[in-house]
Each structure stands twice: as structure tokens, then as C-alpha cells.
Amino acid sequence: MQKINQDSFADFITEGKKVVEFSADWCVDCKRVAPDMPELAQKFADQFVFAEIDVDEARTVAEQYGVKGIPTFVVFENGKEIGRLPSRFAKTKDQIEAFLQEHVSTEKI
């Protein structure tokens, strides 16, 4: 999962479906789900591009998107937020996976 910052955030979310995990190095729950993220990113690689942003380093972005607790997962499609999993529901791999599954496109190309 790539790391983005305040400067790269807008470009990252502009095109396609993106999942941004708002987190911080000190966050216990972020550390708890971190080992599961590579597997989830791989499982959903055909649907989303994943990135992580540190709320301490990107306070403006976190405030702009009203991120109050971490980890918070936000799904963007072409720059617009289409889904959010706030920290109170982002404590386990199963919760995160169910959230991502809800935003999987069922369209055939």
C-alpha cells in the first residue's frame, strides 16, 4: 500500500476508485489492522488502488474530510467520496473487508 501525503492526496484520488486509509504511527487500532492490509489490497486490487495517509502529517486533508478517529477508510471514485468506514467500525479485517465488498463494482467491461 503506497503512502501519500498532503501534497499528493488530490492527484491520487482524481481518477478511478481509490481507498485511502487515514492513520498515524501512534494509533493502536491502525497497528492492529496493518498486517491485514496487504492481503486486502491484493484481494481487491482489480477494484481499488490503496494508499495510506498520516493524519499528523496531513492535518489539512484530515480536517477537510472530517476524519475524527483513525483508522478511517474512505473510498473515492474520480475524486468524489462514495463511502466511509469510520474508526469505530474499522477494528477488524472482517469489518474492513465487508466495507470494501460493499463498494465493489458489479459492472462488466
Architecture of the domain spanning 2-86: 3-Layer(aba) Sandwich (3.40)
The pTM for the full model equals: 0.94
- The predicted model gives 31-53 an average pLDDT of 96
Which residue among the candidates 13, 19, 20, 27 is catalytic per the annotation? 27
- 87 in catalytic set: no
What's the distance, CA 61 to chain centroid?
13
- Give yes or no: 30 in active site: yes
Cα(88)–Cα(65) distance, integer angstroms: 16
Please identify which of the residues 4, 19, 20, 30 carries the catalytic annotation: 30
pLDDT of 108 strictly over 60: no
Domain borders along the chain are 2-86
Q: What is the pLDDT of residues 45-99, one digit of tens each?
A: 999 999 999 999 999 999 999 999 999 999 999 999 999 999 998 899 999 999 9
